[in-house]
Amino acid sequence: MADFAELLTLLPAFALVLTRLSGIALGAPVYSASAVPARVKIGLVVLISLVVFPVVRPTMTHVPDTLVGTVLGAMGELMIGLAIGLGVNLLFAGLQLAAHAAAQQMGLGLARVFNPAIEGETDVLSQFYLLAGLALLLAMNGHQLVIRGVLDSFKALPPMTLTLRPELLYVLRGLLAGSYILALKVAVPTVLILFLVSLMMGFLGRTVPQINILVVGFPLRVGVGLAALVVSFGASMVVFSDGYRYTVDAVGEMIRSLGA
């Protein structure tokens, strides 16, 4: 009975660790995918929590002793886990934004498919780039780096030490800027080539009125756009991998800015 009573006293501290790790199952890429069964997510989070709790427990200087304090502390821990996952997700948002811009210029924006990652519809090209980015993330062991980032956050930011500081806004601005910069780097080659194709078709429409621009232009834009995407795909994945390294550093800085 004494051992059982001692275990009960550890439940609030364990709940804080479990809640922070739950953020990766709710917001991190791969782990938050709807294709992953909920039982697998819960089992993974509980297993990791059981492994790291003996290491984290000595660093916890303050543990709430009431239900209200535990709930409030758990909300803060969940926010930390979600911030890490959503910070990485911003990178994929930039990749999809670039693909969406290219699809609109190619005339493929109306070809829609269901995207389980955002629980909504998206164009085919954005879905392809999302899957390519996820495949590259797995090849780079990025899914392990996400878990490692959450575990390292316990060293820089022990449970119940969350404080909101002004530096956090600058870090979030940097993550958003990095997402847009990634979108520009990936989309600019294809969009620029399609812009030149539009100029060429406009010139032909003026000089050779007999050519039906609407009939010729659509397949030409699709063909040139696909060729540009194929040529620049390797460079796009290199830009994505560089952006991922920047995002990992920015998320680490965000965690440090949340500390006291």
Q: What pLDDT digit, counting tens, does each position of 108-152 carry?
A: 766 666 666 555 667 778 888 888 888 888 888 777 777 887 777
- The residues pairing with 113 across neighbouring beta strands, listed in sequence order, are 122
Per residue in 170-199, pLDDT (tens digit) is 777 777 888 888 888 888 888 888 888 888
Q: How far apart are CA 229 and CA 158, in angstroms?
A: 45
- What's residue 2's pLDDT? 42
Residues in the chain predicted with pLDDT less than 50, given as ranges, are 1-2
The residues facing 115 across adjacent strands are: 120
- What is the model's pLDDT at position 8? 59
- Under DSSP, is residue 158 helix (H, G, I), strand (E, B) or coil? coil
- The whole-angstrom separation of Cα 116 and Cα 119 is 5
Give the orientation angle of helix 67-106 with respect to helix 213-258, to 10 degrees. 160
Q: Which two tokens stand for residue 164?
A: 């909101």
**Beta bridge pairs of residue 120:** 115
Instruction: Tell me what pLDDT residue 167 has.
Output: 65
